[in-house]
Amino acid sequence: MKFTFINKDRVLELANQLRTLQTHFLDRYDVDDVYGNSKIFEIITADKLGHELIPGHSGSRDARDKDGNEIEYKHFKETSSNHSWTFNDFSDTTINKLNDIKAVLFTHINDTSGIYEFDWYYDVEGKIIANYLTEATLSIRNTRKMINIGPRQIEKKLGIYKTYVTNQNMNGVYTQDLNRIFKVIKDLEKETGVDNILTSNKIWEVLTAIHLNHNVNSEQGGRAGAHDAYDEFGNQYEYKISKSNSWNFQDISENVLKKYESLENFILAIKDVHSTSIKKIYVVDIELLNRIKEKLEEKAIRFAEKGKLVRRLQISITLNDTKPYLLEELTPSF
């Protein structure tokens, strides 16, 4: 891994521009956290289809069409390793709720040329996808209760085919503001050497790394042993970033625990989505692994006592959990 010394002042200047654009989006459209949780892909989709975004994230639908009907979006990117759409933590309740919406749009984002282009999608009526999931999930035995749906299932089993987006030059409601965001993001990617900064929560990793003189790994999770960031000496770090002083560790398999053993430290940070900044950074010793394992065992015991099965190997680490292992606490000036 080649280390690059990054111009901190320039990165924070670009972050300030993103802050201004975030404030504008919130004031004008009531849309928050534009840069996290892949929200940008919902905005791109709504822009091209003339939909109105519904404020919020999990638990709410994504948009309304021109007639006021509620729509849910699912997306995958061309560069993703998984070319399908995922329903996580499904239940009878979440599946039944799909009956109340007009449609689920299964969208494709072409990001191979350095831009995010929404180019095709499947439009599946809410009732149809609810019925399909009801039947398809009966045989699923994974504890996570997750199902992937690919183009083949939609076409072969539901008889629904792609709709191609032909209005890429359309001046939608969000177009001008999206273009402003993309310009700043391109500059930020060039400055940091990190690709696809708008994917998942990578932008928050970049804004954390700049205060620690770390480089963010663009291929995190891809190559064996790759973690979120590394320093000039090749030491690797796992980042967890949250809006509060509690951080989620998800899908903690034995392989993941083994992978954590190669870390130099854990980096736990608190973000402020309104100011597009990192408010606190906690550098935590690798021995935090002991507490992670303890909490996994405690969860398994609690569930067993109730006769329940642990569906996901997921726990939360609180600030109190970190106290025996805390090495450094930082309050960034921006």
What would the pLDDT profile of 263-288 be if each residue is shown by its tens digit? 999 999 999 988 999 999 999 999 99
Q: Which residues pair with 70 in a beta bridge?
A: 64
Q: What is the DSSP letter of 325?
A: G
Amino acid at 179: N
> Is 8-164 a domain of CATH 3.40.50.150?
no
Q: What is the pLDDT of residues 141-185, one digit of tens each?
A: 656 677 889 999 999 999 999 999 986 556 789 999 999 999 999
Q: Biggest alpha carbon distance in the chain?
A: 58
- Average the pLDDT over each of 145-149, 217-221, 240-244, 317-321 and give the range with the smallest value: 217-221
Highest mean pLDDT among 30-44, 62-76, 128-142, 301-315: 62-76
pLDDT at 224: 44
- The burial of 81, by beta-carbon neighbours within 10 Å (0-12 exposed, 13-18 middle, 19 or more buried), is given as exposed
Q: Give the Cα separation of 219 and 237 in Å (integer).
A: 14
pLDDT band at 253 (very low <50, low <70, confident <90, very high): confident
- Look at the pTM and tell me if it is higher than 0.95: no
pLDDT higher than 70, residue 57 = no
pLDDT at 80: 84
CATH topology assigned to domain 201-330: PvuII Endonuclease; Chain A (3.40.210)
Contacts of 195 (CB under 8 A, 6+ apart): 189, 218
In this structure, what token pair is assigned to residue 181?
């965001």
Q: Give the Cα separation of 149 and 136 in Å (integer).
A: 10
- Average the pLDDT over each of 70-84, 117-131, 316-330 and give the range with the smallest value: 70-84
CB atoms within 10 A of CB 161: 11
pLDDT higher than 60, residue 139 = yes
Q: Where in the chain is the domain with CATH 3.40.210.10?
A: 8-164, 201-330
**Beta-carbon-side half-sphere exposure of residue 172 (alpha carbons within 13 Å):** 20
Q: Give the Cα separation of 25 and 57 in Å (integer).
A: 15
pLDDT at 170: 66
Which position has the higher pLDDT, 303 or 184? 184
